Amino acid sequence: MVLALVGFAGCAPAQPFVTHERSDRGLVLVLTGIEGVSRINKGICWGLADAGIDWAIELVDWTVPGAYLNNLRHQERNRRKAEDIASRIVRYQMSYPNRPVFLIGQSGGGGMAVWIAEAMPPGGRVDGLVLLSAALSPGYLLDVSIRNSRRGIVSFFSGKDWVFLGAGTTAWGTMDGKHTASAGMVGFDVPTRSGRPPGTYQKLFQVAWHKQMARTGHAGGHATSGERHFIARYVAPLLKAEKWDKAAIKSILSDETTGPASGPAR
């Protein structure tokens, strides 16, 4: 059990939410952006804890310190890192069977979350992925990562994220090497058959930024997608929910006193 509690983040800072007691209830891996450990991803961890997520919440720094563009574009290295993290998840699941495992990735960490899910061994799955401003191209195929997650993927995106995920990834490229606005700005493309998404993609829930999210500190830009209060209000309830479907997502995103708290999931 001790082995299951160490090593995800390598040289990451102290992990206040990683204990045996928490790990015995479940695991959330928070994948940093290309900047490494920062106020943004620390806020994600604290927001989950504020909302009462009492599982292990581990901040995973998959980056090379200071090598921002390399972290964004070195797909071969990043996929190897994703495979290593997937192997560690399997070891955790062996030590703590039948506990929930969720992946939350912000920006480049959204790409890593998808690749970790893809790297799970045959029959291996996580419970769900939450992507915040994912730096993947809109056309990136999510079939494998969705199949390897019991609940599927919830992806938050914002048309106001045009500096980093619009102009930025058009110039420098996305995590998967495409020079285009990212899915974290415009949403993922959903393949259709006879006008309807295939069965796998029915477990992809895309949530557009709405001005009422600004009340929790997320102003729609890139750096605010990990704001502590936003995470507590919109992301933590996803982890607590019994299931993910359109009705459940709509209920979580609604605000009984002020109307819809988000644009429609699509």
Per-residue confidence band for 34, with pLDDT thresholds at 50, 70 and 90? very high
Give the start-end residues of each E strand in the chain: 27-31, 56-60, 101-106, 128-132, 153-157, 204-208, 254-255, 259-260
What is the radius of gyration, based on Cα positions, of the chain?
Answer: 17
Distance CA 6, CA 4 (A): 6
Average pLDDT over residues 27-39: 96
Distance CA 140, CA 189 (A): 8
Per-residue confidence band for 261, with pLDDT thresholds at 50, 70 and 90? very low
The reported pLDDT for the residue numbered 107 is 97
Return the SS3 of 260: strand
> What does pLDDT average to over the chain?
90
**pTM for this entry:** 0.91
* pLDDT tens by residue, 192-245: 876 666 788 999 999 999 999 999 999 999 999 999 999 999 999 999 999 999
Return the SS3 of 109: helix
Per-domain boundaries in the chain = 3-260
The reported pLDDT for the residue numbered 77 is 96
113-117, 208-212, 252-256: segment of lowest average pLDDT: 252-256
Average pLDDT over residues 4-19: 62
The reported pLDDT for the residue numbered 13 is 55
| pLDDT tops 80 at residue 126 | yes
- 12: Cα within 13 Å, side-chain hemisphere: 26
Per-residue confidence band for 191, with pLDDT thresholds at 50, 70 and 90? confident
Q: Which CATH superfamily is domain 3-260 in?
A: Alpha/Beta hydrolase fold, catalytic domain (3.40.50.1820)
